[in-house]
Structures are given as structure tokens and as C-alpha cells.
Amino acid sequence: MQIIIRTDELQSAIDQLSKAAFVTVDTEFIRETTFWPELCLIQIADDDNVYLIDPLAKDIDLSPFWSLMGDEEVVKVFHAARQDLEIIYKMGGLIPHPIFDTQIAAMVCGYGDSVSYDALVQKITGQQLDKSSRFTDWRRRPLSEKQLKYAAADVTHLRDVYRELKQSLESAGRTHWVSEEMDVLTSPATYDLKPEDAWTRLKMRVRKPRELAVMQTVARWREEQARQRNVPRGRVIKDDAIYEIAQQQPKTTEDLGRLRAIPKGWERSQHVQGLTDAVQEALALPESDLPKIAKQRRSPEGAGAASELLKVLLRLVAEREGVAPKVLATSDEIEKIAVMGEEADVQALTGWRRDVFGLEALRLLRGDVGLAFRDRKISAIDL
């Protein structure tokens, strides 16, 4: 294990790693008090070497690392890659390619939904990992011996996990299943949420076009503020405050101060003008320019029962194929298929998922497939 704190050391390591067919990669970061994650450590390994790269060292330039992340000849192996890829995209300006996410591969190989790294390592290698250093402060220097050992374990055991999953996928003829998921992970759109689309993250719903317009402009303002100030979105204003503002539509700072979701005295802060301007922008929109409220599709009679039958079929197919049910279809997708059938715009009805589960789900809805309980288990019957 080598700790790297200088650019020349990093370049030497990358020269070695670039000769490998694959490398395992992980990062340690802090983001509890910031909008952008603060990268504190990079772990990377090939078959023979483990490198811990210190991005906080004063004499290091990460350019060689970014270069390796873009090297098409080397597969980059991550576990639950999304946050790691977000950091690399933000700091390095690229998305690693090609990549292999062992969490996704594990779901396809029947290890359960969103299996954790330590659980997967134990199942495949029999090794029990010490995860007690997971939530330590990775910004403090020097890092303790326990932290370094923990960090190295995140990429050393990943080598064995990758080999096992890769072989399982190849034996089952399912490598292309995972490849489709990697296309989503490596799309820049996955990590580049535009401020004007920030409202789509909100779980609450409004009923009137004017309320939606206010929600959109206020959510955009909050996103811009959070990015500029590098603070979590909730440190600017919380989600429930956006919802109350959308409904009450305060026109002045005094109106804003009367809202229950706004902390007392916040209306006197230096940021209040930007918020009221965002509200006024939405209120000034002519009726013809207001956003449309998506009509709630009324579920046809029997849709609830159809959804329950589809869930049973999903479990049946997942067990038969040896995969996690979530890989084939989510609960939301099941409900959409129950209501809309073939017209449902869901992943479960596209690509390999359609072949494995989607077509059978549609046949169940048409009455071409039945479900029976025989010999203490559910089975599908071709009608």
C-alpha cells in the first residue's frame, strides 16, 4: 500500500495502473455541510498494487488520475458508483468509461436489492470487514492506521468481487444486462441537474398552475444559492418552506415572515430579496405562459388488483431468474403497467427487462397467463 501526496508519485502510479485490464476505485468524501462533496481520499488498486491518493495534499495535481478515468482500455470497477462518478464529473470534467458497478451486477446475479459492499464481500469471499471508520472525519491529517486499512479494504476485496460477478454474468449470458445499466450511469445527464429543473426533486405536489410556477422559480433560486454558497439545499430553505411559499405566494418580506415554515427573523437576512424576486417572477407570468399541471390519470376499475397480481408475478420471475426484483421493475413501474398496460413508459417494458418480465406481465393483464398455488409455491400457467 502506497500513500501518494505528490504529482510525480501519482504519475508513476498511473503509469503502472494503465497497464492493467481493470482497476478498482473508491473515494472518501464529506458533504454534510456543503453542496458539493469535498473529496478527501481516492483509493485505487490493480492486481498487485494499492494506492491511496491524497487530494488534499498541497503538492498534488490530479490530472494523471483523471486521465486514467478516461482511458478506454482500462475497466474502472466501483461499488455503488453514482456518488463517486458525481465527484469525478464535477472535479475532473469527465465520467469514467468503461465502468463496472458491482452493486448493480450483484442484483442481476441474485445477491438482493442494493446490497452493501461489506455484505457482498462477506458473501463472495467470506471476509468480515471492519466498517467502524466509515463515518470518521476524512479531512483530518494525518489519517490513522485504522482509516488507511479501512480505505485499502474498499478496493482490495473489490477485485475478488468483480472477478466473481463478471464470471457469473458471462456464464449466465447476462453481461449485456449490466452494460445497459452502465449506459445510464455514464450519461452526463445523470449528474448535471439544471437549476431550472430543481423543482423535479421535490416530493410535494401542487394543484394550480400558478402555484407550480412559484414552486419552480423558488426551487431554481434555492438551487443557485446552494451552489454559489456551497451549502446543502436545506441550509438555504427547506422543502416544506418552498411548498408553503408556492401556496401562500408572499409578495413582501413581511408576508414571508408570517409563514410557519420560514425561521423567525429569516425575512431580514441578506438573501431574502432574491427569494421575493423569484416569487414575483412567477406571479408576473401571463396565464398563457404558466406551466401545465399534469392530470392525474384515474386508475381503471381493477387496477389495484392487477397491480397486486403483477407484484406476485414479479417475485415469481425474479426467483426463477435468480435476480433481485428491483432489477426487473420498481413498485412505481408495476402500478403504471397495471393502469396503462403496453402504453406505460417504463424500463420494465424495454430492453432485456421486457424479454424477461415485461412481456409476461402484459400477458398476465390480457388473461393469457394465470397464477396458481401448487405444492406450496406460486407458479405461472400458460392459458
Give the single-character DSSP code of 134.
T
**pTM strictly above 0.85:** yes
Which candidate, 138, 125, 283, places its Cα nearest to that of 213? 283
At 298, which amino acid appears?
A: R
- The owner of cell 424477461 is 356
Nearest to 231 by CA among 28, 36, 90, 91: 36
Q: How far is CA 377 from the centre of its chain?
A: 35
Using an 8 Å Cβ cutoff, are 250 and 259 in contact? yes
Structural domains in the chain, CATH included, are: 2-190 (3.30.420.10), 195-289 (1.10.150.80), 303-382 (1.10.150)
- pLDDT string in tens for the chain (383-residue length): 999 999 999 999 999 999 999 999 999 999 888 999 999 999 999 999 999 999 999 999 999 999 999 999 999 999 999 999 999 999 999 999 999 999 999 999 999 888 999 999 999 999 999 888 888 899 999 999 999 999 999 999 999 999 999 999 999 999 999 988 888 888 888 888 899 999 999 988 888 999 999 999 999 999 999 999 999 999 999 999 999 999 999 999 999 999 999 988 888 888 899 999 999 999 999 999 999 987 766 667 778 899 999 999 999 999 999 999 999 999 999 999 999 999 999 999 999 999 999 999 999 999 999 999 888 888 899 99
Question: Following DSSP, what letter does each residue of 202-250 receive, concatenated?
Answer: -----SSHHHHHHHHHHHHHHHHHHHHHT--HHHH--HHHHHHHHHH--
d(CA 282, CA 362): 43
Which are the contacts of 58, defined by CB distance < 8 A and separation ≥ 6?
none
